């Protein structure tokens, strides 16, 4: 990600976006929340969400702050944009327990996201979840490349570390039938 993006989209709690533009970068800041980055490597389209709570909203059922609805909204937006469900690759970020002594909502969010990906049969290409530090995430939806900086507010003297998400090389030969 050496080049500067022409279009930066900031994703806040309860939002999701998709794009296939090569000059677009999506960003978010995470604590206990989780962001899922989806990518269709054939169509070169990606998307990101940012959810606050695991599972479903027990009262309304369609609250995008909850993981289940947020994931479904992002998946449906990807499909409407031309991605195919069986090609979707997922990377997960966040789910930290940033405030000691409070509930472990970060662990619950990360566990929900991993279970959702597994149950839906998606390929999990990378994850940086858990811990006690926040994260600043940058995602290029047209390439599927994500970069995360760990942010520890208690250790301001230590610069954040950049951890590019691991992405395996594409298969040497593939055939797409439709």
CA distance to 3, 28, 83, 168, per residue, from 134 (Å): 25, 11, 30, 26
72-109 pLDDT per residue, tens: 999 999 999 999 999 999 999 999 998 776 678 899 99
Question: Where do the domains of the chain lie?
Answer: 7-153
Rounded Cα distance between 110 and 98, Å, is 13
113-154 pLDDT per residue, tens: 999 999 999 999 999 999 999 999 999 999 999 999 988 766
Helix (H) or strand (E) segment spanning residue 67: helix 67-80
Lookup result for tokens 């296939």: 20
Backbone φ and ψ for 19, nearest 5 degrees, come out as: -165, 155
pTM summary value: 0.82
Residue 178 confidence class, pLDDT cut points 50, 70, 90: very low
- Residue 156: what pLDDT? 54
pLDDT at 167 over 90: no
- Residue 53: what pLDDT? 79
CATH class of residue range 7-153:
alpha beta
């Amino acid at each position: 990600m050496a080049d500067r993006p022409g279009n930066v989209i900031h994703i806040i709690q309860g939002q999701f976006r998709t794009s296939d533009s090569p000059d677009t970068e999506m960003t978010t800041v995470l604590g206990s929340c989780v962001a899922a980055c989806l990518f269709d490597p054939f169509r070169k389209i990606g998307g990101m969400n940012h959810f606050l709570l695991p599972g479903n909203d027990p009262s309304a059922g369609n609250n995008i702050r909850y993981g289940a609805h947020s994931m479904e909204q992002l998946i449906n937006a990807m499909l409407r944009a031309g991605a195919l469900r069986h090609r979707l690759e997922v990377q997960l970020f966040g789910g930290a327990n940033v405030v000691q002594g409070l509930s472990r909502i970060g662990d619950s969010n990360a566990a929900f996201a991993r279970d959702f990906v597994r149950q839906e049969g998606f390929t999990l290409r990378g994850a940086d979840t858990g811990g006690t530090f926040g994260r600043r995430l940058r995602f290029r939806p047209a390439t599927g490349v994500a970069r995360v900086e760990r942010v520890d507010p208690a250790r301001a003297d230590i610069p954040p570390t950049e951890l590019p998400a691991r992405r395996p090389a594409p298969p040497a030969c593939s055939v797409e039938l439709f």
